[in-house]
Amino acid sequence: MKRRDVIKSLAILPVSGAVGGTLNPESFSPTPKAKRKSVYESLGVKPMLNARGTVTVIGASKVLPEVREAMEAAIDEYVQIDELMDGVGKRLGEIMGTESGCVTAGASAAITAGTAGCVTGGDPDKIWMIPNITGMKDEVVVPSYSRSAYDAGCKAVGVRMVQVSNVEELKNALGPRTAMVYLLAGAGSNSGPLSLKIISEITKPLGIPILIDAAAEGPENPNPHIQQGADLVAYSGGKFMRGPQCAGLLVGRKDLIMAARMNTGPHHGFGRGFKVGREEIIGMLTAAEMWFKRDHVAERKLWTTRLETIAQKLKSIPGITTSIRQPTGRSNPAPGLTVAWDKSSIPYIGQDVEDLLWTGTPRISIGAAGSYFQPNQRTSVSVDSSQMDDGDEKVVANRLYEILSKPTPVSRPSGPAAADLSGQWDVETKYYAATVKQTFMIQQTGNDLKGTYIGHIGSRDLVGSINGNDVVIRSTYGVDGARVHSFFNGKLVGDTLQGHLSVGEYGEGTWIAKRHVFKMS
- Give how far the C-alpha of residue 26 lies from the chain's centroid of Cα atoms, to the nearest Å: 27
Does residue 209 have a cis peptide bond before it, meaning omega lies within 30 degrees of 0? no
- The Cα 55–Cα 202 span in angstroms is 35
5: pLDDT strictly greater than 50 = no
Beta strands 178-184 and 139-143 are parallel
pLDDT tens-digit readout, 396-448: 999 999 999 999 988 889 999 999 999 999 999 999 999 999 999 999 999 99
Report how far residue 272's alpha carbon sits from residue 277's, in angstroms, rounded to the nearest whole number: 12
pLDDT score, position 368: 67
Sign (positive or negative) of CA dihedral 64, 105, 222, 15: negative
- At residue 504 the predicted structure's pLDDT band, cuts being 50, 70 and 90, is confident
Q: 298 or 367: which carries more pLDDT confidence?
A: 298
Helix H or strand E segment including 400: helix 392-405
DSSP string, 401-433: HHHHHS--------SSBSS---EEEEEEEE-SS
For residue 265, tell me if it sits in a domain.
yes
Asked, for residue 51, whether it belongs to a domain, the answer is no
Please tell me whether residues 308 and 239 are part of one structural domain: no
* pLDDT: which is higher, 141 or 330: 141
Confidence of residue 35 (pLDDT cuts 50, 70, 90): low
Rounded distance, CA 471 to CA 480, Å?
Answer: 30
Rounded CA separation 37/54 (Å): 24
Indicate if 322 and 432 belong to the same structural domain. no
CATH of the domain at 445: 2.40.128.120
Residue in 184, 209, 185, 201 with CA at minimum distance from that of residue 119: 209
Same domain for 310 and 226, yes or no, is no
Q: How confident is the model at residue 24 (pLDDT cuts 50, 70, 90)?
A: very low
Query: Within this chain, do residues 149 and 196 fall inside the same structural domain, yes or no?
Result: yes
Rounded Cα distance, 347 and 356, in Å = 13
Q: Is the dihedral of CA 220, 221, 222, 223 positive or negative?
A: positive
Q: Within this chain, do residues 284 and 341 fall inside the same structural domain, yes or no?
A: no
DSSP 319-374: TEEEEEEPP-SSSS---EEEEEE-TTTS---HHHHHHHHHHSSS-EE-TTTTSSSP
Residue 148 lies in a domain: yes
Asked which of 373, 405, 437 is the last residue of a domain, the reply is 405
pLDDT band for 15, please (50, 70, 90 cuts): very low
CATH number of the domain enclosing 332? 3.90.1150.180
pLDDT score at 383: 98
Flag whether pLDDT at 127 surpasses 60.
yes
Beta sheet of 210-213, edge-to-edge order: 100-104, 248-252, 232-236, 210-213, 178-184, 139-143, 160-164
The string of pLDDT tens digits covering residues 205-214 is 999 999 999 9
**Same structural domain for residues 220 and 312?**
no
Q: Is 312 domain-assigned?
A: yes
pLDDT > 80? residue 25: no
> Of 304, 349, 343, whose CA–CA distance to 323 is shortest?
304
Residues 6+ apart with CB under 8 A from 45: none
If pLDDT is split at 50, 70 and 90, which confidence band does 521 have? low
Mean of pLDDT values over 225-250: 97
Residues 428 and 478 in one domain: yes
Give a yes or no: residue 21 inside a domain.
no
The answer on pLDDT for 225 being more than 60 is yes
Confidence of residue 483 (pLDDT cuts 50, 70, 90): confident
What are the beta bridge partners of residue 213?
184, 234
pTM for this entry: 0.89
Closest-CA residue to 184 (of 143, 229, 154): 143
Same domain, 144 and 81: yes
Residue 1 lies in a domain: no
Residues 229 and 123 in one domain: yes
The letter for the amino acid at 423 is G
Say what the pLDDT of residue 518 is: 86
CA distance linking residue 55 with residue 66, whole number of Å = 22
pLDDT the model gives residue 23: 33
Domain tally, the chain = 3
How far apart are the C-alpha atoms of 263 and 284, rounded to whole Å?
19
Do 286 and 307 lie in one domain? The reply is no
Confidence of residue 301 (pLDDT cuts 50, 70, 90): very high
Domain boundary among 235, 269, 293: 293
Domain boundary among 238, 265, 293: 293
- The answer to whether residue 484 is domain-embedded is yes
CA 47 – CA 59 distance, rounded (Å): 10
Peptide bond into 205 cis (omega under 30): no
Q: Are strands 496-502 and 484-493 parallel, antiparallel or unpaired?
A: antiparallel
Residue 349: predicted pLDDT? 93
In a domain, 33, yes or no: no
- Give the CATH number of the domain where residue 167 resides: 3.40.640.10
pLDDT band at 481 (very low <50, low <70, confident <90, very high): confident
Residue 351's domain comprises 296-405
Residues 128 and 171 in one domain: yes
- The whole-number average pLDDT for the span 471-486 is 92
Residue 10 predicted with pLDDT over 80: no
| Closest among 232, 285, 239 to 10, alpha carbons compared | 285
pLDDT score of 28: 36
Residue 22 has pLDDT above 50, yes or no: no
Q: Do 145 and 263 sit in the same domain of this protein?
A: yes
pLDDT at 373: 53
Task: Share the mean pLDDT of the chain.
Answer: 91
DSSP H helix total and E strand total for the chain: 15, 20
Cβ–Cβ under 8 Å, residues 248 and 104: yes
Give residue 230's pLDDT band: very low, low, confident or very high (50, 70, 90). Answer: very high
pLDDT digits (tens, 9 = 90+) for 39-98: 999 999 999 999 999 999 999 999 999 999 999 999 999 999 999 999 999 999 999 999
